[in-house]
Structure 1
Amino acid sequence: MATNNAMFLEGHSITRHPMFIGINFVFWRDRMKIFVQSIDIDLWYIICEGPLEANVIDVNTHRLRPKTRYELNAKDKVNLSLNAKAINILYNILDADEFSKVKGCKSAKEIWDKLKEIREGNEDIRE
């Protein structure tokens, strides 16, 4: 028979992100999705689809190039900030071992995809 203490487990915080320590990835992944969406749905889109690029066509080469700091408009800055926020969230939810696996990634999408590939495998592995 369970004691009263064992009958009620403490719930998770709605304001504190779920930490990932390398186990039970699917459970963590699903909780993380809802956590990020509850902060800002656009952050979740950045994680899943990647950041919106701030590019311009170079007048000399007629090719796309990243905008310089001085060419960025307000919308570009918001998009760059969203990617930085998403990266910050993802970096802060990983323990040191998991962080070392993704520390070279340049975007939140790249981090998320790398975590999924490490823990779930890629499509070739899943098939």
Structure 2
Amino acid sequence: MQAHLAAHDDDMWYIITDGPMKILKVNKAAITTEGAPQMVEKHCSEWTSEDKKKANLDNVAKDILYKTLEKNIFSKIKTCTTTKEIWEKLTQLCESNDQTKENKLIVAIQKFDNAKMKPGETLVEFDERFSSIIIKLIYLGKEYSNREISLKVIRALP
């Protein structure tokens, strides 16, 4: 069962990076000059149940991506027709240049420096908001020690 899942994951990654799978068969009417069989696309009427599963992987991968994207990102990729197109568009949208990353880091550091518990905010709400700042900082390559974070939290409390 694990080997089957690993093969499925490999197929899924192939779909994302190379595009929808073409279901092929040996062309018995032609042999290449090297003696290797020539491959041609199978007509859908010839597909086995395994072929149908592989042919549908692009739809499965698109569905997974659609369900994980925020609405503002989804609107930017909704015209893409294949998972590969979606992946390329997401890569383009999400891989910021160095200047953009630096700007995001500066904003995140300012949020960290200015973090204060808001009037009427519960400790749980503050913790969630503060944790999201820390997570963003880590993602952008900036990490604070536990001591620095603890001191910041103490100073942020009323």
TM-score by length of 2: 0.40
Higher RCO, 1 vs 2 (CA within 8 Å, ≥6 residues apart): 1
More helix by share: 2
TM-score by length of 1: 0.48
